[in-house]
Every structure is written in C-alpha cells, then in structure tokens.
C-alpha cells in the first residue's frame, strides 16, 4: 500500500502539490538536503489522529532579478495544516 504524501508545495493560491519526500529526495539534491528529519515538522497526536501527514512545506516565491523563475522557500512557522484549521504544527528549525 502506498504511503500518503508528506510534502506540500504551494505553487500559487490555486495550485498546491502533495508529494512524497522519498521520491523528491531521490530525484533532487535540493530536496535531499531539505527533506530530513531535522527539518521535518513534529506532528502532535491530535494531528496524527486527524490524518495530517504533511511534514515539510514549501512555497514558490515570486521571481526576482536573481531568480527569474521564482524559487522554492521552506515554510518555517506555526501554520494551520490542510483542512484541520484547529490543528497546528511547529517546524523543527
């Protein structure tokens, strides 16, 4: 049985991708560096029981002169997760 996605990448307010950390880390040096336990969110019991599986979150930042295509930024803060507005996690950084 396939494991649920554990990485969320927000490309825009209308487009969010839910992906697997193992696949991303295997195929990308960027993700291999960032998708480690040290950088993973610590989910509390309420989140786990509620079905929350996202442990890493990134968002696409707007293009700049230095990054004309935009760039992925790791989200590091206390955030609501998916549809569980009362469930929160704090990034491990």
On the CB side of 43, CA atoms within 13 Å amount to 18
Say if CB 21 and CB 35 are below 8 A apart. Answer: yes
Mean pLDDT of 12-18: 92
- Distance of alpha carbon 4 from alpha carbon 6, whole angstroms: 6
Helix extents (H) in the chain: 21-27, 29-34, 45-49
Whether 79 contacts 90, CB under 8 Å: no
The pair of three-digit structure tokens given for residue 70, joined into one six-digit string: 């935009």
State the DSSP H helix or E strand holding residue 1, giving kind and residue range, or none if neither. Answer: none
Q: How confident is the model at residue 77 (pLDDT cuts 50, 70, 90)?
A: low
pTM for the whole thing? 0.75
């Amino acid at each position: 049985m396939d494991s649920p996605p554990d990485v969320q990448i927000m490309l825009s307010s209308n487009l969010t991708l839910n992906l697997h950390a193992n696949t991303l880390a295997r195929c990308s040096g960027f993700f291999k560096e960032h998708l480690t336990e040290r950088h993973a969110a610590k989910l509390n019991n309420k989140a786990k029981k509620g079905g929350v599986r996202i442990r890493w979150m990134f968002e696409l930042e707007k293009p700049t002169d230095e990054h004309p295509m935009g760039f992925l930024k790791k989200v590091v803060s206390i955030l609501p997760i998916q549809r569980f507005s009362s469930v929160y996690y704090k990034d491990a950084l």
